[in-house]
Amino acid sequence: MLLSLITFLPVVFALVILAVPEEKYVRPTAFVLGVGQFLLSLLVFKDYDPTTAALQLVEKTEWVRSAGINYFMGIDGISLWLVMLSTFLVPLIILGSWTAIDKKVKGFHVCLFLLQTTMIGTFLAMDAILFYVFFEASLIPMYYMVGIWGGARRIYASMKFFIYTMLGSVLMLVSIITLMGMTKQLTGQMSASLLDFYNLDIPFVAGTMFSTQSLLFFAFCIAFAIKVPLFPFHTWLPDAHVEAPTPGSVILAGVMLKMGTYGFVRMALPIFPEATEYWAWLFFSLGVIGIIYGALVAMVQPDIKKLVAYSSVSHMGYIILGIFAMNVQGISGGIYQMLNHGISTGALFFLVGMIYEKTHTRKIEDYGGLAPAAPLFTILFIIVTMSSIAVPMTNGFVGEFLILTGTFMANKAFAYVAVLGVILAAAYMLWMVKRVFFGAPGKVVNEFAEKNKSLDISKREFAVMAPLIVLIFWMGLFPNHFLSWSEVSINHLVKNKTSYQLQVLNSDQKSAVTAQTKSK
């Protein structure tokens, strides 16, 4: 019940928000509900057993029996942290958008909670069609979020986002239906369960794209690559990020992009092992191109938000690299970097939004000399920047180090090029920091000094940033506190990459396992 509760409680919250009589109570109610939801999701740790790779807290009921579609939810080490990230970011977003969202406040929070349901559902669904349902449904609230509360070109950006993402996912649907037909040939019973997909032995011919496995694999990969986004499918991302309101950008970068990388780990790798191995070079190349290209484009952006958006493209390239390295270091790094990116890029978008709210400009040239005018803001920004460029002691370092180690073990050439990206990241971020925070006071700073207004962040804004900063250091200094929860699942995935199977842990086995560990 716990997983369903976590998934669908936000829908109830959305209804509660609709019923709130006065607009001024909407934000506090939403915040309390969001925090409650996060605390509730922490209960998962109580029941979660990190010593087994099996699927836990499973819920399974028939949904569309004749097509073998089940309501099938479960959690393991791969999805655990992403669920936590989704529940963790939402209360921060509510707090962070306290003043940024000034119209249709009710509608915004309804959208946010509905989005939360679809995100958590995507990470927990263990049935391909259920996954697809959440994956697609998440587009609708995001579409509204960009389209209603976004900037000047919001309608163009939201439409592009929707259609681009959907184009990828319908091909995945065709592929899913084909796999469902294959399960029927194998077991006599049509099934959309991922566990049955893992058992399939799909014919693969090396050297051609037109073997069954490769075609199905690419249908999945295009859907995920658009979502990630992987070069050359990234063009929707800068548009969506620049036009989205701050909370929209945070949730888009923080969680929604992870649906793509999660899809790679959950589906593409274990269902199509031969194709993954054979085509890994392609994804390595695209990942590396994405890293370098994203960094170079970020370097020349005049707009801070766009810079962060392109840095996202670059960072997501690392995650792809780690995943396709197909070794323990790579995949752990990939999963760790998903969290890091959610936290540090989310924090960057928050910070950019905070300063934009006061100055109404995101042009780098308008700033300069911000450091003396806004000292606290500067400190926070620089800490987050350090995390983003992977300085040791921050979370980014752990993730990128693991990924690069993994890549090095899998393919040295790509690792050499990818390391360049680390340098480039330092270049574009630090150059931006220099131009915005140091040097002679710019237009904005002078303006505010004349009016004698403060540019620094408020207590509320500090409260938004504090948990993120804590996590940056916590994850940087004690990575094992986090990695140990998913270690077994990742080892299991890597060890059995050609014959991946996932068991379901039911309650009797669970007590047996705990008894064993206790006796040891």
Q: Does 5 contact other proteins by CB under 8 A?
A: no
Helix H or strand E encompassing 64: strand 56-64
Q: Which amino acid is at 217?
A: F
Does residue 139 interact with other proteins by CB under 8 A? Answer: yes
Residue 143 interacts with other proteins (CB under 8 A): yes or no? yes
Stretch that binds other proteins, among 58-66, 264-272, 297-305, 506-514 (CB under 8 A): 58-66
Q: What's CA 390's distance to the chain center, in Å?
A: 18
**Cα 491 from Cα 78, distance rounded (Å):** 11
One of 1, 46, 66, 210 touching other proteins (CB under 8 A):
66
User: Closest CB to other proteins among 70 and 387?
Assistant: 70
Percent of residues in the chain assigned helix, strand, coil, to nearest 5: 75, 5, 20
CB 357, min distance to other proteins, A: 22
- CA-nearest of 482, 460, 484, 485 to 471 is 482
Residue 65 or 459 having the CB closest to other proteins: 65
Q: Which of 2, 12, 140, 419 binds other proteins (CB under 8 A)?
A: 140
**Which residues lie closer than 8 Å to 216 by C-beta, 6 or more apart?**
175, 178, 179, 202, 271, 272, 275
461, two tokens = 């804004």
| Smaller CB separation from other proteins, 23 or 62 | 62
Burial class (CB in 10 A: 0-12, 13-18, 19+), 518: exposed
67 binds other proteins (CB under 8 A): yes
Contact flag: residue 96 with other proteins (CB under 8 A) = no
Half-sphere exposure of 147 (CA within 13 A, CB side): 15
Tokens standing for residue 335: 């999963």
Residues 6+ apart with CB under 8 A from 12: none
Stretch that binds other proteins, among 61-69, 248-256, 280-288, 512-520 (CB under 8 A): 61-69
* Per-position x/- string for 6-45, each x denoting binding to other proteins as judged by CB under 8 A, each - no binding: ----------------------------------------
Helix (H) or strand (E) holding 60: strand 56-64
> By CB under 8 A, what part of segment 145-184 binds other proteins?
147-148, 154-155, 158-159, 162-163, 166-167, 170-171, 173-174, 177-178, 180-181
Say whether residue 209 binds other proteins (CB under 8 A): no
Q: Smallest gap, in angstroms, from Cβ of residue 196 to other proteins?
A: 16
Q: How far is CA 511 from the centre of its chain?
A: 33
> If binding is defined by CB under 8 A, does position 377 make contact with other proteins?
no
Which stretch, 125-133, 203-211, 386-394, 479-487, contacts other proteins (CB under 8 A)? 125-133
Residue ranges binding other proteins (CB under 8 A) = 62-67, 129, 132-133, 136-137, 139-140, 143-144, 147-148, 154-155, 158-159, 162-163, 166-167, 170-171, 173-174, 177-178, 180-181
